[in-house]
Amino acid sequence: MSDTLPSWYEEAIEPGIRNQVRLMRDNGFNTTSSCGHVGYVELTLCHDGELMRLDYLLFNEGYRNYAIESRVGRTDGHLITATKVVFASEALCQATHEHPQPPPATRAPPQET
């Protein structure tokens, strides 16, 4: 991963969530919105295998306090689907570190059957 962020990251994404958005996008997740002061990143709907991959990615990057939520619903008859990662406030502190320390433990990615 390059140390230089494209200008749109700095222009469009709040500093408090920028590194998390970059991590997810650089690993193939399509982020759709984020909020640095609330501490969430919203993505297009992730299915079971992708949810596990997202969890392993975050855990292996050192995040320990977050929730991954998926929802399917209807608004005015339109199908709405999304996945949202909500970070606890201490997890957002990692956003200020350009090169976070390696996590103390890692998990192996799930094995496909």
Output the domain CATH number for residue 44.
3.30.1360
- Token readout for 46 is 């992730």
Q: What is the largest distance, in Å, between two alpha-carbon atoms of the chain?
A: 47
In this structure, the number of other CB atoms found within 10 A of the CB of residue 88 comes to: 13
Residue 39, CA distances (Å) to 19, 44, 95 in order: 12, 17, 10
Q: What is the pTM (predicted TM-score) of this model?
A: 0.73
Predicted pLDDT at 7: 77
96, pLDDT greater than 70: no
Do the domain assignments include residue 74? yes
Residue 103 forms part of a structural domain: no
Task: Determine how many CB atoms are found less than 10 A away from the CB of residue 62.
Answer: 16
Tokens 């909020």 map to which residue? 35
> Which residue carries 């392993």 as its tokens?
56
Asked whether residue 107 is domain-assigned, the answer is no
Percent of the chain at pLDDT above 70? 73
